[in-house]
Homo-oligomer: A and B are copies of this chain.
Amino acid sequence: MNDQSETLEQTTGGLDLALLLPFQITQLSGKLAAQARAILSRHGTLSLAQWRIIRIVAMGLPPQSTAVRKSSGIDKGQFSKTVNVLIDEGYVTTRPCPFDHRQFEVILTDKAIAAHARLAPELDARQAHLLAALTDAQREMILPAIHALAKAAETIDFLNKDKD
């Protein structure tokens, strides 16, 4: 037994972690969300979903509603409600999308731009902090691994391949 497995045992109480990859990822996701919320709450009351939308538009990505929604990874219904809250609180305005009248475009107000200017450096520092915790090899490996898992998580067809 090496020191790595010892370290891991501390976080789970001694389970065989090979059985718990989804569980470990879920726990990590929760901790990352809590950390992001802690940073956001230092400077205001933006929720994570609200921040993601602001950040996407601030980055200069396409501001059409569907593009923003897909970049944010937020559910259709939740996206609609979150944008309306952002409007009510004066962070964004919208205008009709010229080439598709079902959609709209998201425009940041000065308030959102100011919030972004305050928050972005701290979130960038956090990102650097997280990456610094990984070895070079881990840093190179992890995004492809996450992507491979995400693809494998999109289907449950493997359960009845024998029935086809």
Contacts and interface: CB of A to CB of B under 8 A. Distances in A.
A23 B149 contact: no
B158 A126 contact: yes
Contacts of A97: none
Interface stretch (A67-75, A88-96, A110-118): A67-75
Interface of A: 4, 7-8, 11-13, 15, 17-19, 21-36, 38-39, 42, 52, 59, 61, 67, 70-71, 73, 122, 124-127, 129-134, 137-138, 141-156, 158-159
B31 A29 contact: no
Given A61-B15, A138-B148, A143-B17, A154 B35 contact: yes
Contact of A153 (B32, B52, B154): B32
A73 B26 contact: yes
A110 B26 CA distance: 29
Contact of A159 (B39, B137, B152): B39
A147 B25 contact: no
Nearest to A144: B4
A132 B21 CA distance: 12
Contacts of A12: 71
Given A24-B150, A126-B159, A134-B145, 5 more contacts: A13-B71, A19-B127, A22-B33, A25-B28, A26-B73
A125 B141 CA distance: 24
B158 A28 contact: no
